[in-house]
Amino acid sequence: TPTPTAGAAGLPDPVAFARSDWAGDPFARGSGSFLRPGATTADREALARPIQDRVFFAGEATSADRPGTVAGAYASGLRAAGEVDR
């Protein structure tokens, strides 16, 4: 069976993973993020800021230009992966 990193040069296989049922989660209930009135994209950028270059954040809520979308979540994952790689 192919692994998630099969064919990705130099990447180790994952040792664990987690997934969630976003729509079935009683706390999320399939919701997305939203900003309070008066908030700006700087607030989303603050959510995306790493903590001491050891904890990194991704997700549609951290996307300043595509919040609330799968495209924003995907782009933020690429951004966070780039931050981890530095």
pLDDT digit string, tens, across residues 30-44 = 777 888 999 999 999
Least confident range from 3-7, 37-41, 68-72, 78-82: namely 3-7
Token pair recorded at residue 24: 């079935």
CATH class of 41-85: mainly alpha
Residues sharing a CB contact under 8 Å with residue 50, sequence separation 6 or more, in sequence order: 56, 57, 83
Domain boundary assignment for the chain: 41-85
Predicted structure pTM score? 0.65
The Cα 56–Cα 79 span in angstroms is 10
Cα distances from 71 to residues 6, 31, 61, 75, 80, in angstroms, run: 24, 16, 11, 6, 14
Please determine, for residue 2, whether its predicted confidence score (pLDDT) is greater than 70: no
